[in-house]
Structure 1
Amino acid sequence: MPRTPVSRLLDADAPRITFGADYNPEQWTPETWADDVRLMREARVNLVAINIFGWAQLEPLPGQYDFSRLDAVIELLHENGIAVDLGTGTASPPPWLTAEHPEALPVTADGTRRAFGGRQGFCPSSPVYREHALALVEQVARRYGTHPAVKLWHVSNEIGCHNAHCYCEVSAAAFRRWLEKRYGTLDALNEAWGTAFWSQRYAAWEHIQTPALTLATGNPAQAIDFRRFSSAELLEHYVAERDLIRTHSSVPVTTNFMVTAHIQALDYWTWAPEMDLVANDHYLDHRLPHPTAELAFAADATRGLAQGEPYLLMEQASSAVNWQPRNIAKGPGEMLRNTLTHVARGADGISFFQWRASVQGSERFHSAMLPHGGTDTRVWRDVVDLGGMLERLAEVTGTRVVAEVALVFGWEAWWITDLDSHPTAELRYLEQVHRAYEALRASGVTVDVVAPGAPLDDYRLVVVPALHSVSDTVAERLERFVAEGGHAVITFFSGVTDEVDRVRTGGYPGAFRELLGVSTEEFFPLHAGETVRLDDGSTADIWTERLHPRGAEVLASYLDGPLPGTPAVTRNAFGDGTAWYLATNLDSAALTRTLREATARAGVALNPALFDTELEVVRRSGPQGDYLFVINHGATDARHAARGYDLIEQAEVDGVLEIAAGGVRVVRLEPEAAHTSASAPRPDETNETKVTS
């Protein structure tokens, strides 16, 4: 089924940015519903997600269904011109299911069976859960499949957030079936898992268990296959719900991904092709050093999952969340900047969790579009302003983000690189990805996030951070890209193992030795807090390695540490292109400087006026024109060269765009200005773009 454009969900003749929230009317009285709908119209809300956690209301006892309240809510929304994203209600089973079938509860790695009372309290492989969940979906889809209010189907919710990995006997049996289908024979499995080590060779399928906690470290290949299985098991159930819905409805079906810093359970590269449109939930994470940069990365990654097409932001927060150690409220204009970052990077739909702030339950202090304080609040005024702004940006919908640089990122790579028994516990995959992304963002470079092995023909530069496990196919595709004139930057601990995490012998970085023109004989991780100096004035930490050039040019070497005089940064001519190797964890300034040089050498236009500023500039382009998004995350006013029409201020821009501190601007560029913006000056050319304060 072809992807459904987000902007066409509401009206096929008039593309619009969808705007709304999760709505939980079951928490409120019908009198409150009427007030909610009136305020939704004031805020220009046009799409709300309902029945996300409605199972216990719809089926209070097995087989006893009551749709009266959901009927009333859907009719009320429809009468007021508000479309429905209808949940299947299967995200959390009702009390009766696990009370009558406690074996359906999930078991953790320590063998503990968790109790009812949170959410997602079920084993993904449980036949009891699946049978009752699909029975509910059948009832909901048959009843509302052709209702004109329903514009989108929402399967479950944040699938795998809490229960992705279950270690019960039912899961073990399902794992064995998955393994037998994957490998065919026990000999093939034993070879892939390296079970000759520690007397782990299996002689019967029934002897294989889930990788629960062991006294010593477990088998890494088994651990990775269990993660693959767990992702596939949940996807299988998503597909079952989706296909059942399709027997009653022609409306698109999706679920909300969690492309974010602390959720790694599902391989979304395998999930995305099954979605009628790609949707994501994202919340600022104040546990990270650069939450706004991570937001931009997540937006780019979500767009990558959508193959460059616009996506739907299914959830974000109007202000604080409730689940971090310190739940920081958003400052003036921050919610608007966060939202426009998503739109700039490809979102054609914006939604929040949730519409009205709950007064009970564990999320009662999570922010909402309508806060506890009501309408006489800054949050509410910002929500109303945002609704009007998104209406003015409707013409942007359907355009695509323009990028000439790709950043390789994968969930499997995340799982594998973060396993134990590696050279250092300080190397964390996502941190390396974020560091590379932040260095490019600090240089004003827009990035497409792509899967390992993705087509690279549209890019000038590909950045590959810490891609530890690499198949021959992935390695060959990157080699071909460089040989045909592309440029690549690969960082340490890449290419070391194959797709089953078997070490490639003959010297590191394994799969990339020939491409990079180097060979490493041994890793030399650094002590905690230890740094080394390089002869180009930079410093590094975490990692060094005994590297030998095999044709590569040495750009920087260590002055001290365990390997003085050893190359740390190299560049290799390969075919018609160039491949860089960063064999250490360069300090942020050095990493940024190196990636800027690689970007410029790749022929990507750079604008030095954007370097290390808090001005975010992204371009979306389509048949209807080019649009420049300029977001000022700084505390001072800024200026940026642009010529066209400002959709937010509804005013002409004649060469210089003024962006107030904390402000945002979206300019429909004149054709000549669009070309100029797409080809910003090189560092050695006259720079006509100014950023001042």
Structure 2
Amino acid sequence: MTARVTDGALLFGGDYNPEQWPEAGVWEEDIALMREAGVNTVTLGVFAWAFLEVDDDVWDWEWFDRSIALLHAAGIGIDLATPTAAPPGWLHRTHPEIIPTDRHGHRFHPGGRLGWCASQPVWHEYSTRIARRLGQRYGQHPAVRLWHVGNELGGGNRLCYCDASSAAFRQWARRRYGTIDALNRAWGTAVWGLRYRSFDDVTAPLASESGQNPSWLLAFDRFASDALLEQYRRERDALRAAGVTTPITTNLMPTVGGSVADYADWIDDLDVVAIDHYTRAADPHRERELAFVASRARGWDRTRPWLLMEHAAAAVNWQPRNTPKAPGEMTRHSVQHIAHGADGALFFQWRASASGVEQFHSGMVPHAGAQTRQFREVVALGALLGRLGEVAGSLVAPTETAIVADIPAQWAWEEGQKPLHDHPLERAGRQWHEALSARGLVPDVVPARADLSPYRLILVPGLYAVSDADAAALGRAAAGGATVVIGCLSGIVDPENRVRTGGYPGAFRDLVGVIGEELHPLPDGARVPLSSGAVAAHWAERLRVPPGSEAAVVAAYAQGPLAGLPAITRRTVGAGSAWYVSADLAEGLDALVTDVVADARVTASVPVVAGVEAVRRVSGDRSWLFLINHTDTARFVPGAEGTELTTGADVTGDLHVPAGAVRVVRETGRR
């Protein structure tokens, strides 16, 4: 269904909130500026509920009709949102029970967004009614090309601890475990005598005077994710029942480490995979974090393009220091997402708000108006994406390299007391992604239950919780010829957050052929050299190679209480191999990457030039090479042949990519 959305062009535009502005003088100017910028899509209605349903079942459609008519007349397509991110004040006043409750049992108050609990029956009634009414009125409107359920589901209300949530959690637990005895075994409730007599005893994990059972907490995380998915399905089904036949999606919020929901379970329900992504100004290499997240969006479903639903034109308003993007950075970020498989780049928002919480969040049209550097760059970006429209519908070229990143595994690490409480488990995944990308390998980032058969090199950094089935699949991948690298803190617990006994790394112990006797977090600031020249920081483990194991020691700890013990090992498994990296490497990761890449016999699939990100998209026998220069000096990329679409020039051989610029080559002579 993505092709019906893009219709042979990359989507470009952003959230449009005409209700914030006077109709006279501003709406017509918006349309004119959108046409100047080449905007072909706007997201409409995200926060408009109070303006559409002005009181309980009292409707005002006329202003919305006029806005839609103006956009349609200008040839601008609409991604029409159900406005359930913004319950109106009258609904909160008459039904305060829909407002979420925090861990201390205190109900929040109106005044923010996402003020609803996904388990409240009253909320189900009102949210599906507004979706149904919108579908009935606009479901067949020719300007509406995509439907957008809610906004960032769970972004501000992922967890609610009200009585309705407890009741829904009990039903969820009954379906998952079947009997209370099975639940008690799964959660290990014998510890501290927390055994449940019946499902009636099960509640949401409200705050208590001590630490709480990590299995209980993880189960509630899973329940909350499922509750949000059910809310999406309710609104989607209401739209379908009202006659909507166009694609329906919602904007997911992936990050390097995790997300508000287990999105791998959502993908089959989305006609278009769509994400929001905002970089952090304090990150000096935020383009690398962007690449990881884009690889994750692509890795959820390799069979179709995805969509960037929101990113920032300049500064955001929610970081400690909200510095604007540098000239050219907005363009690089937009094209970078498209290089990694997005079929468009949309923004929050079109016109920067003058008031409200997000008044200092940037827009495509800034407070200073159209005669600004920022808007000129928006216009230039629109023209550029117009020239790149032919890539719409294509996919990123297949890769032989994948990184496994699982959202519930991150939750499992975060819930409960751990050996190292200030250790960002997700950091290793980004480090591996950066190192592999620098070698031209363009890794996918995939969930643990993904099909691993296309990959010859599979990195598993920090897969703290894993099922027996997913661990076995990684073993089969190694036996079938893949190089599988298990990183520290992987396989430690099962899907219920119970430690796998018998030695670390738990689920992967037999695969890697070593036994971890003791987890060994390092003191803050401590560094331990390895025999290979690498240096460990933050994390180490006491390992031994048991008698009869075929695991070979690649590097040992060289100092301290672990001196002489294995740190990195390799074991031949069938036609492939399984490596274990027990240390968090502060130095030496690059050399290790060189070794495992050679072991896997994978080679660069795109040109490798320092500071230039290269990604290839393909469709049939056609291909496009994206080159993004993230440096402040010009680079020359060898071997380019074809037509460079940003300039229209024919290229052969070395391609000049100016500092901070992007180039896209429609390749010839490549099959």
Give the conservation status (yes or no) of the 8 Å contact 1:524–1:562: no
Structure 2: distance between partners of 1:153 and 1:144: 10
| Residue in 1 that maps onto 2:112 | 118
| Residue in 2 that maps onto 1:429 | 425
1:484 aligns with 2:508: no
Q: CA RMSD in A?
A: 1.5
How do residues 484-503 of structure 1 correspond to structure 2 at under 5 angstroms?
484-503=480-499
Structure-2 change in CA distance of 1:581 and 1:608 (3 Å): farther
For 1:405, give the aligned amino acid: T
1:577 aligns with 2:570: no
| Residue in 1 that maps onto 2:12 | 19
Structure 2: distance between partners of 1:474 and 1:500: 14
Give the conservation status (yes or no) of the 8 Å contact 1:408–1:462: yes
Q: 1:376 aligns with which of 371, 379, 385?
A: 371
Give the conservation status (yes or no) of the 8 Å contact 2:478–2:575: yes
| Residue in 2 that maps onto 1:594 | 592
SS in 2 for 1:234: helix
1:304 aligns with 2:299: yes
Query: Structure 1 stretch 404-413 or stretch 498-507: which is displaced more?
Result: 498-507
Give the conservation status (yes or no) of the 8 Å contact 1:470–1:495: yes
Q: 2:329 aligns with which of 307, 330, 334?
A: 334
| Residue in 2 that maps onto 1:292 | 287
SS in 2 for 1:60: strand
Offset, 1:10: 5.0
Give the conservation status (yes or no) of the 8 Å contact 2:634–2:659: yes
1:366 aligns with 2:364: no
SS in 2 for 1:438: helix
SS in 2 for 1:665: strand
Q: 1:66 aligns with which of 42, 47, 60?
A: 60
1:552 aligns with 2:551: yes
Structure 1: distance between partners of 2:584 and 2:282: 21
For 1:560, give the aligned amino acid: Q
Per-residue CA deviation, residues 104-140 of structure 1 (Å, 9 max, x unaligned), is 2111112221110010111121111211111111111
Q: 1:78 aligns with which of 69, 72, 75?
A: 72
Q: 1:279 aligns with which of 257, 266, 274?
A: 274
1:269 aligns with 2:264: yes
| Residue in 1 that maps onto 2:219 | 225
Structure 2: distance between partners of 1:91 and 1:392: 35
Structure 1: distance between partners of 2:568 and 2:318: 41
Q: 2:637 aligns with which of 630, 640, 646?
A: 640
1:622 aligns with 2:616: no
Structure 2: distance between partners of 1:386 and 1:609: 25
Structure-2 change in CA distance of 1:10 and 1:503 (3 Å): closer
Unaligned runs of 5+ in 1: 676-693
SS in 1 for 2:377: helix
1:443 aligns with 2:442: no
1:44 aligns with 2:38: yes
Structure 2: distance between partners of 1:493 and 1:261: 17
| Count of aligned pairs | 664
For 1:398, give the aligned amino acid: G
How do residues 527-542 of structure 1 correspond to structure 2 at under 5 angstroms?
527-542=523-538
Q: 1:253 aligns with which of 233, 248, 272?
A: 248
Structure 1: distance between partners of 2:282 and 2:515: 37
| Residue in 1 that maps onto 2:28 | 34
Give the conservation status (yes or no) of the 8 Å contact 1:443–1:596: no
Offset, 1:291: 1.6
Per-residue CA deviation, residues 193-237 of structure 1 (Å, 9 max, x unaligned), is 111111111112221111121211101111011011101111111
Structure 1: distance between partners of 2:188 and 2:32: 63
Offset, 1:609: 8.0
Structure 2: distance between partners of 1:391 and 1:90: 32
Structure 1: distance between partners of 2:363 and 2:606: 39
How do residues 406-421 of structure 1 correspond to structure 2 at under 5 angstroms?
406-421=402-417
1:241 aligns with 2:240: no
**TM-score under structure 2 normalisation?**
0.97
Give the conservation status (yes or no) of the 8 Å contact 1:311–1:347: yes
| Residue in 1 that maps onto 2:385 | 390
Q: 1:656 aligns with which of 654, 657, 662?
A: 654
Per-residue CA deviation, residues 636-658 of structure 1 (Å, 9 max, x unaligned), is 11001111110111001111100
Unaligned runs of 5+ in 2: none
Give the conservation status (yes or no) of the 8 Å contact 2:607–2:637: no
| Residue in 2 that maps onto 1:684 | none
Q: 1:150 aligns with which of 144, 154, 166?
A: 144
SS in 1 for 2:570: strand
For 2:593, give the aligned amino acid: L
Query: Structure 1 stretch 496-505 or stretch 272-281: which is displaced more?
Result: 496-505
Give the conservation status (yes or no) of the 8 Å contact 2:468–2:507: yes
Structure 1: distance between partners of 2:376 and 2:606: 37
For 1:614, give the aligned amino acid: G
* Percentage of matched positions with identical amino acids: 45
For 1:646, give the aligned amino acid: E
Offset, 1:307: 3.0
Q: 1:603 aligns with which of 576, 601, 604?
A: 601
Structure-2 change in CA distance of 1:261 and 1:362 (3 Å): farther
**TM-score under structure 1 normalisation?**
0.94
SS in 1 for 2:366: coil
Give the conservation status (yes or no) of the 8 Å contact 1:172–1:209: yes
Give the conservation status (yes or no) of the 8 Å contact 2:257–2:407: no
Structure 1: distance between partners of 2:290 and 2:417: 31
SS in 1 for 2:57: coil
Structure-2 change in CA distance of 1:54 and 1:319 (3 Å): same
SS in 1 for 2:156: coil
For 2:633, give the aligned amino acid: T
| Residue in 1 that maps onto 2:179 | 185
Give the conservation status (yes or no) of the 8 Å contact 2:567–2:581: yes
Structure 2: distance between partners of 1:163 and 1:408: 27
Structure 2: distance between partners of 1:115 and 1:656: 61
SS in 2 for 1:610: coil
Structure 2: distance between partners of 1:559 and 1:261: 32
Give the conservation status (yes or no) of the 8 Å contact 2:534–2:585: yes
Offset, 1:401: 1.1
Per-residue CA deviation, residues 563-587 of structure 1 (Å, 9 max, x unaligned), is 1111111111111101111110012
Offset, 1:181: 1.2
Structure 2: distance between partners of 1:128 and 1:385: 47
For 1:409, give the aligned amino acid: A
Structure-2 change in CA distance of 1:643 and 1:10 (3 Å): closer
Structure 2: distance between partners of 1:262 and 1:544: 21
Structure 2: distance between partners of 1:330 and 1:262: 23
Query: Structure 1 stretch 224-233 or stretch 209-218: which is displaced more?
Result: 209-218
For 2:656, give the aligned amino acid: E
Query: Structure 1 stretch 281-290 or stretch 523-532: which is displaced more?
Result: 281-290
Structure 2: distance between partners of 1:459 and 1:262: 22
Structure-2 change in CA distance of 1:646 and 1:97 (3 Å): same
Structure 1: distance between partners of 2:46 and 2:606: 47
Offset, 1:445: 2.3
Structure 2: distance between partners of 1:51 and 1:116: 20
Offset, 1:98: 1.3
Structure 1: distance between partners of 2:302 and 2:189: 38
Give the conservation status (yes or no) of the 8 Å contact 1:440–1:596: no
| Residue in 2 that maps onto 1:689 | none
Offset, 1:192: 0.6
SS in 2 for 1:618: strand
